[in-house]
Amino acid sequence: MAVQATKVDDGSWDTHVMKAAGLVMVDFWAVWCGPCQMVAPVVEELANEYAGKLQVMKLNTDENPEIAGRYQVMSIPTIMFFKDGKPVEKLIGARPKRQFKDLIDSLLAQGTPTA
């Protein structure tokens, strides 16, 4: 069975991202955003490939502007990575899948931050 990215919003943000153990990837996107639509299949592929190692979330910035503002998301798509509830990395704009995989592999290899 294919694993899919989980839709997250104002109500579920704390549970799915802030209180999540381990690495969480959040795709900040909007329906009208062309580059977001280009990245969407890659995000779904990553959710599948990293099932059990990485939680993948999607946040619609039009429906949840407060969270997007909290993390200074000015351009979409923005892909943010959180480790144990803390933001650790951010990629802005459509990127090739390889760039996402390299960053995810690097973050997973780091284990838990000591700071």
- pTM for this predicted structure: 0.93
In contact, 8 and 58? CB cutoff 8 Å: yes
* Strand 23-29 versus strand 78-83 pairing type: antiparallel
Whole-angstrom Cα distance, residue 12 to residue 48?
Answer: 21
- Is 36 catalytic? The answer is yes
Res. 3 pLDDT band, cuts 50 70 90? confident
Q: Comparing C-alpha atoms, which of 66, 47, 44 is closest to residue 55?
A: 47
Confidence class for position 115, pLDDT limits 50, 70, 90: very low
Which residue's structure tokens are 């480790």? Answer: 83
Query: Which among 36, 43, 59, 67 is annotated as catalytic?
Result: 36
Q: Does residue 87 contact residue 80 with C-beta atoms inside 8 Å?
A: yes
The SS3 assignment for 99 reads helix
For the chain, domain boundaries: 6-109
Of 23, 25, 26, 33, catalytic: 33
The pLDDT score that the predictor gives to residue 1 is 61
pLDDT of residue 111 exceeding 90, the answer is no
Q: How many residues in the chain?
A: 115
What is the fold of 6-109? Answer: Glutaredoxin (3.40.30)
18-73 pLDDT tens trace:
999 999 999 999 999 999 999 999 999 999 999 999 999 999 999 999 999 999 99
